[in-house]
């Protein structure tokens, strides 16, 4: 491989021109894999050289600066900085400025090039995106194997911590300009749910009560491990045919103290829902949940109609089905037949929920059941009787309206479970919140991830 010296020039209009000539030799008999690997190595090496020139050429000139009314002067010598970039680690020297009274140094290069810690924005974005999807060790392996980049687990975690803190501080609202046109959206379904993850918490002090049920010591640190509930919310957009056009996701880690409320989560949901309502004032707003009574008041306050998840309802029918059929020959087949018909009626027949509830009550009063069957039947009766006003499924099916909370149930996995509940995983509250925030931004249809980067890393180099 031959290459020229990297050059950076600036045109009269301020345009920066980066130039380097690369020659790559591929000897006879070289496999395509080896040739491609050699090309990648050469291009990465050239990219690192050009990045170094770009950084050097973008620093201040060492002359005094005035920042926020204070005059700053450069130190006698430049200070070195190793910058991690997409092409590799490059070491640059940049001017450090201070005021006449000393104090914290100001580095013009860091601010102008929007370095995140010691990383370029592009590389920081890649690392943050990857850490939102896989463990740090896997990221290091992926970067080394596929991109020729060697970094440490500590760097991945530290970079994601910085990025997560920024995202948490900003948490941009949905970019409504990137959402479907108002005429396309007929229904907005809002859902909220919780998902458990394992959290490491500080050790108890003598004044604190004994460990809560379900907690245990974390032998790797002087902390306790507890399963706590994080919150996930979805705002799903549907057209007139009932097709989902996109979804906005929100999530929050468990509160620092287990007795605290969910104020931060409700704030995010209300903010994003307000933006959606402003975009779609004529849409139909519905709250879909699985019947958890602590979530109903918020949904009732912020949506126009409440819907009980159809599939939770059929689950209760499934549990009660054995009690609804007389014992004897063919009991299993008759149970399956009853359940199939009951689920069909519940979905397609008006008033089916009330009729099924009455049928189960009649069966409870007139049959001799085992304790287990009687208990399951009672639970189904209670579930139906408490939620009848939210079970008008037949009319909703005819109107192509959503009847299930599957979007929200899946979001519990998408935002929390899939990434944060792997074998042996435990999280600090801080990092848990950072990961949940990043995954919510990345997953949302309204391009919240792109909006976050555009709003925080858009400074011109000129």
pLDDT of amino acid 308: 95
Range in 3-17, 290-304, 315-329 with the lowest mean pLDDT: 3-17
Tokens of 294: 């602590």
Q: What distances in angstroms separate CA 426 from CA 225, 319, 429, one per listed residue? A: 8, 34, 10
219 pLDDT more than 80? no
Residues near 22 by Cβ (< 8 Å), separated by ≥ 6? Answer: 1, 2, 3, 4, 42, 43, 46
Residue that is written with structure tokens 């601010």 in the block? 111
pLDDT of amino acid 171: 76
153 pLDDT more than 70? yes
pLDDT of amino acid 244: 96
Cα–chain-centroid distance for residue 4? Answer: 44
What integer is the mean pLDDT of 256-281?
A: 89
Q: Maximum Cα–Cα distance for the chain, whole Å?
A: 96
Residue that is written with structure tokens 């600090």 in the block? 428
**Tens-place pLDDT, residues 103-148:** 889 999 998 998 998 899 999 999 999 999 999 999 999 999 988 8
Q: What is the value of pTM for the model shown? A: 0.86
CB 129 within 8 A of CB 398: no
pLDDT of amino acid 175: 82
Nearest CA to 407 among 317, 288, 256?
Answer: 288
Beta bridge partners, 308, equal 289
206 pLDDT more than 70? no
CB 440 within 8 A of CB 250: yes
Count Cα neighbours of 180 within 13 Å in the Cβ-side half-sphere.
20
What sign for the dihedral angle of Cα 272, 231, 447, 288?
A: negative
Nearest CA to 84 among 41, 113, 42, 43?
Answer: 113
CB 127 within 8 A of CB 135: no
Q: How large a percentage of the chain has pLDDT more than 90?
A: 66
pLDDT of amino acid 201: 82
Tokens of 276: 């959606």
- How much is the mean pLDDT over the chain? 89
Q: How many other CB atoms are found less than 10 A from the CB of residue 111?
A: 12
Tokens of 35: 């040739």
- In the 8-state DSSP scheme, what is residue 119? B
pLDDT of amino acid 333: 94
Rounded distance, CA 217 to CA 59, Å?
50
**Tens-place pLDDT, residues 75-97:** 999 999 999 999 999 999 999 99
Q: How large a percentage of the chain has pLDDT more than 70?
A: 94
Domain spans, the chain: 176-309+404-454, 312-390
pLDDT band at 28 (very low <50, low <70, confident <90, very high): very high
252 pLDDT more than 80? yes
pLDDT band at 220 (very low <50, low <70, confident <90, very high): low
pLDDT of amino acid 294: 86
Residues near 226 by Cβ (< 8 Å), separated by ≥ 6? Answer: 198, 199, 201, 212, 214, 215, 258
**Tens-place pLDDT, residues 361-413:** 999 998 888 999 999 999 999 999 999 999 999 999 999 999 999 999 999 99
Tokens of 179: 């959402």
Q: What distances in angstroms separate CA 151 from CA 81, 85, 125, 172, one per listed residue? A: 16, 11, 15, 30
Tokens of 96: 């450090």
CB 185 within 8 A of CB 280: yes
Rounded distance, CA 360 to CA 305, Å?
27
CB 20 within 8 A of CB 54: no
Highest mean pLDDT among 11-20, 63-72, 161-170, 221-230: 63-72
Exposed / middle / buried, residue 455 (Cβ in 10 Å: 0-12, 13-18, 19+): exposed
Rounded distance, CA 325 to CA 338, Å?
8
Rounded distance, CA 13 to CA 15, Å?
6
Rounded distance, CA 190 to CA 30, Å?
58
């Amino acid at each position: 491989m031959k290459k020229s010296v990297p050059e950076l020039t600036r045109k009269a209009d301020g345009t920066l021109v980066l130039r380097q000539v690369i020659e790559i030799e591929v000897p006879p008999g070289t496999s395509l894999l080896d040739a491609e690997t050699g090309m990648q190595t050469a291009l990465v090496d050239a990219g690192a050289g050009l990045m170094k020139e770009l950084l050097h050429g973008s620093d201040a000139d060492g002359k005094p600066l005035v920042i926020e009314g204070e005059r700053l002067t450069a130190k006698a010598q430049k200070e070195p900085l190793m910058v991690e970039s997409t092409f590799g680690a490059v070491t640059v020297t940049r001017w450090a400025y201070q005021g006449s009274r000393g104090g914290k140094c100001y580095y013009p290069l860091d601010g102008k090039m929007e370095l995140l810690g010691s990383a370029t924005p592009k590389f920081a974005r890649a690392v943050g995106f990857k850490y939102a999807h896989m463990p740090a060790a896997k990221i290091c392996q992926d970067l080394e194997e596929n991109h020729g980049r060697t970094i440490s687990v500590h760097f991945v975690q530290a970079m994601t911590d910085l990025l997560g803190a920024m995202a948490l501080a900003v948490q941009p609202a949905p970019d409504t300009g990137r959402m479907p046109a108002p005429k396309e959206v007929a229904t907005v379904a809002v859902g909220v749910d919780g998902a458990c993850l394992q959290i490491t918490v500080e050790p108890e002090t003598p004044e604190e009560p004994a460990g809560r049920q379900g907690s245990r010591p974390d032998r790797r640190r002087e902390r306790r491990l507890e399963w706590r509930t994080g919150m996930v919310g979805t705002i799903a957009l549907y057209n007139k045919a009932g097709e989902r056009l996109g979804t906005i996701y929100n999530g929050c880690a468990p509160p620092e103290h287990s007795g605290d409320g969910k104020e931060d989560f409700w704030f995010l949901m209300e903010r994003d829902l307000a933006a959606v309502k402003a975009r779609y004032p004529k849409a139909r707003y519905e709250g879909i949940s699985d019947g958890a009574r602590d979530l109903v008041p918020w949904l009732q306050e912020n949506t126009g109609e409440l819907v009980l998840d159809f599939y939770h309802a059929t689950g209760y029918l499934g549990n009660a089905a054995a009690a609804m059929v007389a014992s004897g020959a063919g009991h299993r087949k008759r149970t399956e037949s009853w359940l199939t018909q009951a689920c069909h009626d519940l979905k397609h027949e008006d008033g089916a929920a009330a009729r099924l509830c009455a049928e189960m009550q009649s069966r409870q009063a007139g049959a001799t059941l085992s304790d287990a069957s009687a208990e399951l039947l009672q639970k189904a009766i209670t579930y139906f009787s408490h939620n009848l006003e939210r079970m008008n499924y037949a009319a909703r099916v005819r109107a192509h309206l959503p009847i299930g909370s599957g979007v929200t149930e899946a979001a519990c996995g998408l935002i929390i479970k899939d990434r944060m509940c792997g074998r042996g995983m435990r999280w600090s509250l801080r990092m848990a919140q950072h990961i949940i925030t990043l995954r919510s931004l990345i997953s949302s249809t309204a391009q919240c991830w792109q909006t976050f980067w555009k709003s925080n890393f858009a400074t011109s180099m000129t």
